[in-house]
Amino acid sequence: MPVALQTSLSLLLMILLGYFLRSKLDKEEHRKGLKVVILDLALPAMIFVALLGIKMEAELVILPALVLAWNGAMLGAGYFGLPWMGVERHSAAHRTWLMLLPSLAPGLSCFPFLIEYLGEEALAWGALADIGNKIYVLIFAYLLAMAWYYRVHRMGRRSNGEKVKQLLLAMLKEPINLVLILAMILLSLGMSMQTLPKYFGKSVLMLKEIMTPLILLFIGMSVVLKWKQIQAIFSVLMLRAGISLLLSGLVVSLFPFPSTAAILLTVVFPLSSCSFWPFAHMSAVRQLELNSENLAANKTFDLELGINILAVSLPFSTLLILGIFSAGEYFTSAFQIGTFGFLLILIPLTSKAITWVRGLDITLDLSKNQDLKNSPTEGR
């Protein structure tokens, strides 16, 4: 059995164990506690170890810029493409999709597989790339949410300076960002894991080792199996993945890459699940609306839709990334990456076209029957 397939099966087994644990860890605080351990302890430790093993080069600064460009491209694609999928433009659902589609949560859906398949250097590259995504989800997404809130309720523009300041402070307090800053300072001083005190390094390494099993169990506990409720969401997420793969294929064809790992990182990183941060901004906006009797009836965002998108996005991205890694080096060719992306786009669009044609046929049949009823020969 190929090594890549064995690795995928072992990871899927951990996800399955998490699914079976759902009945024992069925309360929201259980999963919230597990997520805190993952995002505030295990993941920062893993990123810290990975960053201290990387050779810093000026070229790596392009990684956050490329991710920010992806955020912008997905925002534009969502604005113009969602109405084709039946989402009414300028509706609460449209705004909800536009908040979540361009966001990424690589910590929950991508980083564990980077370390398992590509190693610590690829994980460090992914952590640096995520800086661009963090700027988008923490700052730009918040400003976008507030702009829509003011527009929906026809308010004049208000100063967001204090709110932005609070978000920047929160960004600096986040453990992953503190680890990034600390690791870069240590790297600039020429330090590495070997030069740190042994007791400190050993503690960090112990935390790092629990990352992968914990996050796989968390994914298993988050899986939602209600197909009728998720069909439309699944289709849009497939379009998101297809567009991402087309963009990745374009980048791979235009730029030279130092290794196969770098190409695979370019392919899988944009396939990460949607982030929880935009949902937090939408929840804050909804709370503002609920605090005012005049605003409560008019929703800027559809929070129920947002929850469902997040629930579907995590397992969808996980399985897609696992499938790409399981294929070995197949997805290192720009042509193969682009072809797969085109197929992912074609599937939901074809399904939508079939549905539209069937609806048109029904409309024509109803019109024909109505014409027959109104015919002068009817009833003779």
Domains and CATH numbers, the chain: 3-360 (1.20.1530)
Which of 18-32, 102-116, 261-275 has the highest mean predicted lDDT (pLDDT)? 261-275
What average pLDDT does range 299-303 have in this prediction? 87
Predicted pLDDT of residue 56: 54
Span of 179-183, 232-236, 260-264 with lowest mean pLDDT? 179-183
Nearest CA-CA partner of 46 in 272, 181, 205, 213: 205
Q: Which of the two residues, 292 and 111, has the higher pLDDT score?
A: 111
Predicted pLDDT of residue 167: 56
| DSSP H helical ranges for the chain | 3-20, 28-37, 43-52, 62-81, 92-100, 106-109, 111-117, 120-135, 141-152, 161-173, 175-188, 198-209, 211-222, 227-254, 260-268, 277-290, 303-326, 334-373
Dihedral sign of CA atoms 143, 148, 149, 151 in order: positive
Is a pLDDT exceeding 50 seen at residue 46?
yes
Is a pLDDT exceeding 60 seen at residue 331?
yes
Predicted pLDDT of residue 269: 94
Which band of pLDDT confidence, cut at 50, 70 and 90, is reported for residue 380?
very low
Could you give the percent of the chain with pLDDT greater than 70? 80
- Please provide the DSSP assignment of 31-90 as one string: HHHHHHHIIIIIHHHHHHHHHHTS---GGGGHHHHHHHHHHHHHHHHHHHHGGGGTPPTT
- What is the rounded distance in angstroms from the CA atom of residue 99 to the CA atom of residue 232? 17
Residue 103 near residue 281, CB atoms below 8 Å: no
Predicted pLDDT of residue 100: 95
What average pLDDT does range 156-172 have in this prediction? 58
254-278 pLDDT, tens per residue? 888 878 888 999 999 999 989 888 8
Predicted pLDDT of residue 122: 84
Residue 301 near residue 285, CB atoms below 8 Å: yes
The 10 Å CB-count burial string (b at 16+, else e) for 120-155 is bbbbbbbbbbbbbbbbbbbbbbbebbbebbeebeee
